[in-house]
Structure 1
């Protein structure tokens, strides 16, 4: 008789996170119809506390609802298990006959999957472990793209167009749009997909990969307003000066830390104050924050397909006896359809992937045509306004 499988969701949710979950459940039911499929509630925290639910009997309609739901249907976390937690996890896996695990998540989850596999080996506990990538930050090493990014990038690009429509209709005259992006600027760079002509928004895009220069930023804003009467800038929340100092960082006792990650955000509001102070211009800040991370209305068709494919390939690899791997997406155009290859979890858990130097712009826009060529197929067609 086949053993049983467990699915774990970890890290920040996305608009297509549950598409991976549903895909893994469907494929497992095909590969091993006699086995049970469990889900850990709130990631490794749920596994360590035996908070597991049976997903084996979900109907086709229920799976379709899960697939089309944003967020993390099982609940997610950034829980860092202790050795006692890990030992408890092995007991819970053993009691339910689980010998295969699929981890759905980002850098931290892939690193955690690798460590958990090593812990199991150190305890002579036989289990196969596979990783299915996910993150809106698009910063997992050794994969062409990460499910979750395309949809979040679509939200940013379309929101840039929509915000610009408001500014063009009634000049503010300046707005600064803040995106998520603690260490890397993939999401902010995606705003440039809104731009078709020189005067189109965004007029400034700032990413963590390029040191921030206040004078250069203010000059770009001032020159754009002088030319067309308004300006729109897009900035990553984690931008820093050349000395490494964040342009803005919250200093609040209530900020707290999650898995040693200080709470950040608010740089757009900070910069709007500097624009008003130095340029004497009325300036608004926009901070959608987490809204774009799980925005169901902005799901990219390519992103959805990638999310389903990576989870499916993980389950197929388990059926072949593979372990300790992640399903890595190959570049579009590599084959007749999107395809994967398996890479060691150690490679996936490596350093964060920043925007490549050759994709960075040299002017006020931090990305160039090479980046646009990469990102446009992942984002899909945007709804562009018509002006008279």
Structure 2
């Protein structure tokens, strides 16, 4: 129980047919999970003490980095233990494989956020909808959700830098789309534009327990930038609608439409 840290506490559960009978209908991680700070030696000590000979590790890129360390330690000790990595991440950011468990469901459910934004911006004058989707370092969910929707005008992802002002900038594109259609939808991955925001806000480089850089909240930042530009510079009234679709935490701010649901084994809020 509890992912890698569960090896320390030695808490286990027997997965009988009765216990797992309806787990496919439940959201969240059935065995619970933990983040960062794993001691590989302690984990392998536990594997050795219990005489475990097969270890199946399910998770994303960080989980598989841990699996690689466990395998190296197992090999170093000469243990007869097989370590198998099973990719499961909605971000679809694991190399070699084409698609991971949870990705299709995440893209499908992201359509609800995009559809909600489209309804909102169509109902007001000069409506601009910003939908923030998951994706720290990869824009697969944002890109595939955009391709699956006929309502998105602009998709911003971490792999492709963008800028706001000047010819070819986002402000110019927004103005053009509003003049043509009267509204527009922007889909943005949570990791997009982080260097741009950090420079503008002079933010420190902070890390979480797993060593990942803590992301600045691009959604409210971009919403405010767009609103300030058009109301103060262009003297043009626009109606901003910001929709958050993600997991990890819930945050309430003005003009936010929150969507909470479950996708595969990931909790999405």
TM-score bin, normalised by smaller chain:
0.7 to 0.9
SS of residue in 2 equivalent to 1:104: strand
For the pair 1:262 / 2:213, whether they are aligned, the reply is: yes
SS of residue in 1 equivalent to 2:114: helix
CA positional deviation for 1:51? 2.2
Structure 1: stretches of 5+ with no match in the other structure: 1-40, 305-388
Give the alignment partner of residue 173 of structure 2, picking from 215, 220, 223: 220
Measure the CA separation in 2 of the matches of 1:49 and 1:150.
34
Deviations 1:269-326 (CA, angstroms, capped at 9, x unpaired) = 1111111111122323222331899933x66xxxx9xxxxxxxxxxxxxxxxxxxxxx
CA positional deviation for 1:248? 5.2
Measure the CA separation in 2 of the matches of 1:233 and 1:107.
27
Measure the CA separation in 1 of the matches of 2:107 and 2:92.
10
TM-score (norm 2): 0.80
Residue matched to 1:234: 187
SS of residue in 1 equivalent to 2:35: coil
Give the alignment partner of residue 25 of structure 2, picking from 68, 78, 90: 68
Evaluate the alpha carbon distance shift between residue 89 and residue 251 of structure 1 in structure 2; reply closer, same or farther with a 3 A threshold.
same
CA positional deviation for 1:123? 1.6
Mapping for residues 272-287 of structure 1, pairs under 5 Å:
272-280=223-231, 281-287=238-244
For the pair 1:78 / 2:35, whether they are aligned, the reply is: yes
Deviations 1:345-367 (CA, angstroms, capped at 9, x unpaired) = xxxxxxxxxxxxxxxxxxxxxxx
Aligned residues: 245
CA positional deviation for 1:150? 1.1
For the pair 1:121 / 2:75, whether they are aligned, the reply is: yes
Evaluate the alpha carbon distance shift between residue 78 and residue 293 of structure 1 in structure 2; reply closer, same or farther with a 3 A threshold.
farther
RMSD: 2.7
Measure the CA separation in 2 of the matches of 1:210 and 1:235.
11
Contact 2:129 2:240 in 1 (8 A): yes
CA positional deviation for 1:117? 1.4
Evaluate the alpha carbon distance shift between residue 288 and residue 265 of structure 1 in structure 2; reply closer, same or farther with a 3 A threshold.
farther
Contact 2:64 2:85 in 1 (8 A): yes
Contact 2:117 2:243 in 1 (8 A): no
For the pair 1:295 / 2:244, whether they are aligned, the reply is: no
Evaluate the alpha carbon distance shift between residue 224 and residue 103 of structure 1 in structure 2; reply closer, same or farther with a 3 A threshold.
same
TM-score (norm 1): 0.57
> Which of the pair has the greater relative contact order for Cα pairs under 8 Å at 6+ separation?
1
Contact 1:188 1:205 in 2 (8 A): yes
Mapping for residues 300-379 of structure 1, pairs under 5 Å:
none
Evaluate the alpha carbon distance shift between residue 194 and residue 129 of structure 1 in structure 2; reply closer, same or farther with a 3 A threshold.
closer
SS of residue in 1 equivalent to 2:53: strand
Measure the CA separation in 2 of the matches of 1:179 and 1:248.
19
Contact 1:160 1:194 in 2 (8 A): no
SS of residue in 2 equivalent to 1:98: coil
Measure the CA separation in 2 of the matches of 1:101 and 1:294.
33
SS of residue in 2 equivalent to 1:45: helix
SS of residue in 1 equivalent to 2:227: helix
Measure the CA separation in 2 of the matches of 1:294 and 1:231.
24
Measure the CA separation in 2 of the matches of 1:146 and 1:136.
7
Residue matched to 1:204: 154
Residue matched to 1:50: 10
Deviations 1:8-49 (CA, angstroms, capped at 9, x unpaired) = xxxxxxxxxxxxxxxxxxxxxxxxxxxxxxxxx111111133
CA positional deviation for 1:54? 2.2
Contact 1:266 1:287 in 2 (8 A): no
